[in-house]
Amino acid sequence: MTREARAFWLRTPGVGEIRPAPLPEPGPGEVLVRSRCSGVSRGTETLVFAGRVPADQYAAMRAPFQEGDFPAPVKYGYLSVGVVERGPAHLCGRTVFCLHPHQTAYVVPAEAVVPVPEAVPPARAVLAGTVETAVNALWDAAPLVGDRVSVVGGGMVGCCVAALLARFPGVRVELVDTDPARAAVAAALGVGFAAPRDAAGGRDLVVHASATSAGLRRSLELLRAEGTVVELSWYGDRVVDLALGGAFHSGRLTIRSSQVGAVAPARRGSRGFADRLALALDLLADPVFDALVTGESPFAELPDVLARLAAGSLPALCHLITYDGE
């Protein structure tokens, strides 16, 4: 018997819609998950919504349970929390996280879901995919005790990185953003804040997550000699304008990319994707992450929500989508 759920699709760039989605009976080793909430990953999902995934990145940017192809029509998303209604006994009734697009219910292999710890509320658990990105970035960056670190770009990823860095002994963290409203978020996370022009220099490490040329240029300016910028931004089809004729060479500076699609080399021999995601969920027991969930809308309004997020008329870090009554 095939039942029906509802899913969000990007019909054409800039236009989303809710479509019916077949919901098959779960087979052996599969689970039926009823969604409780999902999160909109603002940076990536608004680029997808605008049709700005470069053609040479179509394969790399596929989400685990994506349907359709870029630029559209495509079913995309990867921050879903729900309850297992059917499946193996050890999972039935459990709240789980899954890298699944926005959909009211879905059937996936049991190994695709990770139980959410009891100490983590479902609304906070939608951040698991973003915290996982931050974990991977810090495995790449390898900050040391007492380091002076700046995080340039106070979006979801940058704020998650800053929140984790605040736990490192002796590390002094400054969140740098053009939006003065991010100062309150930085305070909630327990880190300093500065506008780009006022940011502290002489940094051992800068994590860049603003997805702007200006942000990357400022990140390099903030480094001490032989310091490193870990580049977490995804620019889509935008070209980065960067002057490398000054202190970049004389200061022996480093720009290193970090991307969540592969486990960081420093841990690749001992950790897998499931380990990394489980760690992210454990870290979300800290209520400080609640500061990153900044809005809420019902699933039926998601087409309008994404349009407003992409246009900049709806300010948000992580916008929560709820499925009550769906």
Does residue 65 share a domain with residue 11? yes
Higher pLDDT, 60 or 95: 95
Q: What stretch of H or E contains 247?
A: helix 247-250
Number of Cβ within a 10 Å radius of residue 142: 12
Going by their DSSP bridges, the two strands 74-75 and 67-68 should be labelled as antiparallel
**Is it the case that residue 246 has pLDDT exceeding 90?**
no
Q: Which residues neighbour 111 within 8 Å (Cβ) at sequence distance 6 or greater? A: 29, 274
Strand partners, 98: 80, 113
- pTM for the complete prediction? 0.92
The rounded distance, in Å, linking the Cα atoms of 3 and 20 is 10
Residue 215: partners with Cβ closer than 8 Å, 6 or more residues away: 152, 153, 196, 208, 209, 233
Measured distance CA(118)–CA(94) in Å, rounded: 10
Supply the mean pLDDT for the chain: 95
Residue 266 lies in a domain: no
Residue 158's pLDDT is: 97
* C-alpha angle 306-312-317 in degrees, rounded to nearest 5: 70
Domain boundary, last residue among 257, 272, 296: 257
What DSSP string runs through 44-106? HHHHHHTT---GGGTTTT--TT-EE-SSSSEE----EEEEEEES-TTTTT-EEEE---SBSEE
116 and 14 in one domain? Answer: yes
Which of 257, 275, 304 represents a domain boundary (last residue)?
Answer: 257
Q: Is the model's pLDDT at 1 over the cut of 70?
A: no
Are 119 and 137 part of one and the same domain? no
> Three-state SS string across 249-311, please?
HHCCCEEEECCCCCCCCCCCCCCCHHHHHHHHHHHCCCHHHHHHEEEEEEHHHHHHHHHHHHH
Whether residue 274 lies inside any domain: the answer is no
pLDDT tens track for 250-308? 999 999 999 998 999 999 999 999 999 999 999 999 999 999 999 999 999 999 999 99
- Burial class of residue 319, CB neighbours in 10 A (0-12, 13-18, 19+): buried
Whether residues 122 and 221 fall in one domain: no
Interatomic CA distance for residues 32 and 1, integer angstroms:
13
How many Å apart are CA 281 and CA 283, to the nearest integer? Answer: 5
Residue position matching structure tokens 């700046």? 150
Are 163 and 123 contained in the same domain? no
- Look at residue 245 in the predicted model and tell me its pLDDT: 82
Verify that 151 and 198 share a domain, yes or no.
yes
Q: Report the CATH number that the domain containing residue 195 is assigned in CATH.
A: 3.40.50.720
Domain hosting 21: range is 3-127+284-322
Same domain for 142 and 174, yes or no, is: yes
- pLDDT digits 0-9 by tens, 126-170: 999 999 999 999 999 999 999 999 999 999 999 999 999 999 999
3-state helix, strand, coil in the chain (%, to 5): 30, 30, 40
Counted domains in the chain: 2
289 and 189, same domain (yes or no): no
Residues 236 and 150 in one domain: yes
**Residue 187 belongs to some domain of the structure:** yes
Same domain, 143 and 108: no
